[in-house]
Structures are given as C-alpha cells and as structure tokens.
C-alpha cells in the first residue's frame, strides 16, 4: 500500500536542506500547505480497499445465492428425470415379464406341436405299415389255407378214387379220421402263424408306445420347467434372474439342450454348402467345414470354405470346388477314373483336391450358382474369371456343364465359349466330341471336354515356359495360352453377396 506521508517527509527534508545553506537563517518549522491532501491520500487507499472488499463480499453472496438457486433447479430436474426413468424401467420390466411369458408360451406350444406332430406322424406311418403287414400276412395265410384245403380235397378225392378203382391192395384201407388229421395240421399251422403275427404286432406296438411315452415325457418335462419359470416371473419377489436360474439346474439345462439338439438334427438345420455356414457365422474363419449337399444327415462331406475378408464379409461364402498349386505338398494325381471324379478326391485344406461331381450336381441343381476362377500364370501374374450362372447336370447326362455370364480380367471367355453344354470326360469314360481322340487321355485329366478345350485345369503342371505344351492352362488374348501353376475354382449361390448384406443390415 502507498503511504503518501512519505512524500511529505521528502518535502520537509528538501526545505530543511535549503534553509541550512544560510548561516544567518534560523529554521522555523513551516506548516505543510498540503497536509490535508496527504491526510486524504493516506485514508483514500484504506477506503478504496474497504469499498472493494465490500463489493467483493456482495459479489460472493450474490454468486452463492445464484448457485444455490441453480443447484435447487438441477436437483428438482434430476428428481423429475429419476422418477421418469424409474417409471420407464418399471414399465419395461413389466413388458419384459410379459414378453418372457409370451416366449415361454410360444416355446411350450412349439415343442408340444413339434413332438405331437412327429409322434402323430410316426404313429400314422406305423399304423399304415402294420396294416399293410397284416394284410400281406393274412393274404398269405388265406392263400396257404386255401392251398392246404385244396391239397386235402385232392388227397381225399385220390383216396376215394384209388379205393373205388382197386388201385390199392384189397386189404388196404383209408385210415380212419385222416381228413380230420390233415385239418388239424392245417389248423395248427394257421394258429402258429397267427400267434407269430400277433407277437410281432405286439412288439411293434410296444415300441411305438415307448416312443410316444418318451416324447410325452420330454414335453411334460419342458412344460414343468417352463411353468416354474413362469411362477418365478410372476412371483414379484424382485429376484427374477436368480429365481429363473435356480429352477434351471444343470440336469434340466442339459435335458433342454439335448431336446433342442435333436430338433436341429432334422434336414432343415443342415448346412448345404459353405454359404449356409457363412450366413449363420459370418465371423467364422476360412477353413474346413462339414456340409450336406444332398441334405442327407447321414451323408456329410468335408469342404474348404472361403469365408471372405474380415472387413468385407460379403466376399465370403464360397465352397472351393478345385484347388491346384504347384508346390511340394501339391502334385496330386488328377488323371483319375470316372468314379473318383464323381466321388471327389484329395483332402480339402491340404494340398490339392476335387470336390466331386455328385456333390457339385446336388448343390447347383437346387438353385442358380455363380463361380469364380483365380489363376496365376507362371510369368504374367494373377488373373480371374467369374460366371454368374453355373450348373452341373446329373450323371444320366454325364454331368453336363451349363455356364454363362462371364466377367474378368482375362481377355477371352475360354470356358463358356468352348465348354458350355459339354459332358464330363475321364480316361475311362470318353464323352467328348472327337471320335478319334480321348481328350481326357491326351491331356491326363478329367474335364468338360469338347473338341478338345480352351481351358483345362486338371492337366499336369508345366515344367517349362512352353505355352504350347499340354499343361494346365487357359486360352487368352491373340490365341496365346496362360500357363498356370496355381488355380482356385469356387462356387456359391448366385447373388449371395447382395442378400448377405441385406441380411447383415436387417433390410
């Protein structure tokens, strides 16, 4: 703080100094004319500080009042929001309870209908088979009975004829009661057959009864535990999750899971190709999966599935039909028989393999398929070709190839222009258009040969850069061949990418 008295002292010192310069001058203290100013200045800083302090206190008090008002407003709003959230939560919990009850009713109804339907169908089918079996048995017994009666009548007629015609010795007689004895034997035979039939029918009916009882037992178990869940949900004890868990012990969970697994074993749950796996598990990595091309649960096959890029899953869902690569773990013999090409050979995911014509037909005749060829030329790098329509007909048509809709960076459509409509050929089944040459023999591999080919991907690998040698190749621009040392042929349902994106985004 500035003390203005210092200025006054300084002024007095200057006055004393000036007066002491004269020896004749006697110093007489002079009253400072600015004394009142100095006093005012001394008090002014204190007054300013006091005023500032008062204003600052007022500001703080005003700020505190405003903060208190805002806090009260926020508190009120928070209370309103909290009340609304609580009400919303309670309403949602009520909806969840209702939804859970509805789901439980739906599951119960579905399981009841499912098992009732299957059991009813099984019973109807068993009854039909039993009736057919009984009709056949009864018809057979009737025929046998009539036949035996005819034999008996013939025997009786013959005995009478021999007796009247002296064909028997004079002392020979027909045994008394012989006809009754034959009738008894026939009756015994019929009784035995009927008894056996009744025993078989009884065994079959017992088996059917056991199946029905087992099915009803499973349904009753599910109904019982669903009822327990409903009781817990409607108890209102605030411990829905804990109560539900307590009634679903390990044995019940295992039983329910087992029941659902049995349902999943029906053909409707079988993945027909890699696109079905991709549709259900788009995050699954590329690799070997079990598929069921014929939709027969007892006829799975292993397939190598290309599941697409991690950031573009619509590029997946491909079933690899053919894999060729000229490596130390490749070099599989593709000069195979018709039966081997029909069945398929090699191990998917390891080296080289062929998917199989039978399975390929089973896939492509059900719906339109598209295919893609990825190829590597020994000197010119990578090429690709795609076809929007691809189908292989059945064995009665020699697995004839239907293909069109070409796109790609190869300059020539070598497949559809030459091989569309061609049957498959192997060295032991010559179906090509040349009568003097077996193309499969001359090219050492089975293919959809015409006369002979613009592409063959099952031929041997090249041993040099000679593009005219009979090796694995594709006819490209200016009738120059691509000579290949790596090939992938893969297929999936046509338009799968667009359908998968719509499914993924819930469209």
Give the pLDDT confidence of 315-357 residue by residue, as tens digits: 999 999 999 998 865 579 999 999 999 999 999 998 899 999 9
Give the H or E element holding residue 493.
strand 481-493
Indicate if 307 and 337 belong to the same structural domain.
Answer: yes
pLDDT score, position 173: 42
Classify residue 332: in a domain, yes or no. Answer: yes
Checking 428-433 for CB contacts under 8 A at 24+ apart, the result is: 428/337, 428/338, 429/338, 429/398, 431/398
**Which residue blocks in 265-403 are alpha helix, DSSP H?**
274-280, 338-343, 357-364
Q: What is the CATH number of the domain that holds 374?
A: 3.90.215.10
The answer to whether the beta carbons of residues 387 and 404 sit under 8 Å apart is yes
pLDDT score, position 162: 46
The answer to whether the beta carbons of residues 292 and 271 sit under 8 Å apart is yes
Backbone angles phi, psi at 157, to 5 degrees: -65, -40
Task: Give the number of other CB atoms < 10 A from CB of residue 426.
Answer: 24
Number of domains in the chain: 2
Among 255, 283, 313, the domain boundary falls at 255
Classify residue 159: in a domain, yes or no. Answer: yes
Among 255, 286, 303, the domain boundary falls at 255
pLDDT score, position 159: 52
Classify residue 133: in a domain, yes or no. Answer: yes
How many residues are there in the chain? 507
- The low-confidence residues of the chain, meaning pLDDT below 50, are 22, 160-178, 237-248, 264, 267
Cα–Cα distances in Å, from 152 out to 146, 165, 191, 223, 315?
10, 20, 18, 63, 81
Specify the DSSP class assigned to residue 423.
P
R_g of the chain computed on alpha carbons: 50
Indicate if 311 and 443 belong to the same structural domain.
Answer: yes
Indicate if 193 and 243 belong to the same structural domain.
Answer: yes
Indicate if 140 and 284 belong to the same structural domain.
Answer: no
DSSP assignment string, 377-403 = ETTTEEEEEEEEEEEE--GGGTT-EEE
Classify residue 196: in a domain, yes or no. Answer: yes
Indicate if 461 and 433 belong to the same structural domain.
Answer: yes
Print burial letters for 177-187: b (CB count within 10 Å at least 16), e (below 16): eeeeebeeebe
Indicate if 248 and 275 belong to the same structural domain.
Answer: no
Indicate if 296 and 418 belong to the same structural domain.
Answer: yes
Indicate if 221 and 361 belong to the same structural domain.
Answer: no
- Domain of 496 in residue numbering reads as 270-504
Where do we find the tokens 């009803």? 216
Indicate if 399 and 480 belong to the same structural domain.
Answer: yes
Give the pLDDT confidence of 141-184 residue by residue, as tens digits: 666 666 667 666 666 665 544 444 444 344 444 444 445 565 56
pLDDT score, position 27: 55
Indicate if 210 and 321 belong to the same structural domain.
Answer: no
Classify residue 469: in a domain, yes or no. Answer: yes
Specify the DSSP class assigned to residue 285.
P
- Tell me how far the alpha carbon of residue 220 is from its chain's centroid: 30
Residues 184 and 275: their CA atoms lie apart, in Å, by 70
Classify residue 15: in a domain, yes or no. Answer: no
Classify residue 219: in a domain, yes or no. Answer: yes
Indicate if 202 and 306 belong to the same structural domain.
Answer: no
């Amino acid at each position: 703080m500035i003390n203005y008295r210092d200025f006054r002292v300084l002024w007095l010192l200057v006055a004393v100094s000036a007066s002491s310069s004269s020896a004749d001058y006697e110093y007489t203290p002079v009253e400072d004319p600015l004394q009142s100013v100095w006093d005012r200045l001394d008090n002014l800083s204190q007054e300013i500080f006091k005023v500032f302090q008062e204003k600052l206190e007022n500001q703080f008090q005003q700020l505190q009042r405003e903060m208190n008002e805002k806090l009260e407003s926020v508190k009120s709003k928070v209370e309103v929001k909290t009340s609304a959230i609580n009400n919303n939560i309670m309403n949602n919990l009520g909806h969840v309870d209702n939804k859970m009850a509805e789901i439980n009713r739906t599951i119960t109804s579905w399981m009841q209908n499912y098992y009732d339907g299957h059991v009813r169908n099984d019973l109807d089918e068993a009854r039909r088979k039993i009736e057919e079996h009984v009709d056949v048995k009864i018809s057979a017994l009737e025929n046998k009975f009539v036949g035996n009666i005819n034999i008996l009548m013939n025997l009786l007629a013959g005995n009478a004829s021999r007796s009247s015609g002296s064909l028997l010795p004079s002392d020979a007689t027909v045994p008394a009661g012989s006809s009754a004895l034959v009738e008894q034997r026939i009756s015994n035979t019929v009784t035995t057959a009927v008894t056996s039939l009744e025993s078989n029918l009884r065994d079959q009916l017992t088996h059917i009864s056991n199946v029905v009882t087992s099915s009803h037992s499973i349904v009753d178990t599910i109904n019982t535990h669903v009822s327990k869940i409903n009781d817990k949900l409607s108890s209102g004890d605030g411990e829905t999750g804990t109560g539900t868990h307590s009634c679903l012990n390990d044995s019940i969970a295992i039983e329910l899971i087992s029941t659902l697994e049995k349902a999943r074993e029906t053909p409707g749950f079988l993945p027909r190709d890699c696109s079905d796996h991709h549709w259900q598990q788009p995050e699954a990595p590329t690799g070997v999966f079990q598929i069921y091309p014929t939709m027969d649960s007892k006829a799975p096959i292993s397939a190598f599935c290309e599941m697409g890029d991690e950031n573009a899953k619509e590029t997946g869902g491909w079933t690899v039909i053919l894999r060729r690569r000229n490596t130390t773990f490749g070099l599989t013999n593709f000069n195979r028989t018709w039966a081997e090409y029909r069945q398929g050979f090699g191990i998917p995911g390891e080296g080289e393999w062929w998917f199989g014509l039978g399975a390929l037909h089973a896939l492509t005749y059900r719906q339109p398929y598209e295919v893609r060829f990825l190829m590597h030329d020994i000197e010119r790098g990578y090429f690709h070709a795609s076809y929007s329509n691809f189908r292989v007909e059945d064995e009665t048509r020699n697995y004839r190839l239907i293909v069109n809709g070409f796109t790609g960076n190869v300059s020539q459509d070598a497949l559809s222009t030459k091989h569309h409509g061609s049957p498959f050929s192997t060295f032991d089944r010559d179906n090509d258009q040349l009568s003097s040459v077996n193309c499969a023999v001359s090219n050492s591999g089975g293919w959809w040969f015409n006369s002979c080919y613009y592409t063959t991907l099952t031929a041997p690998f090249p041993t040099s850069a000679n593009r005219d040698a009979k090796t694995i190749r594709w006819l490209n621009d200016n009738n120059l061949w691509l000579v290949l040392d790596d090939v992938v042929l893969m297929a999936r349902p046509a338009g799968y990418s667009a359908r998968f994106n719509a499914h993924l985004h819930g469209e």
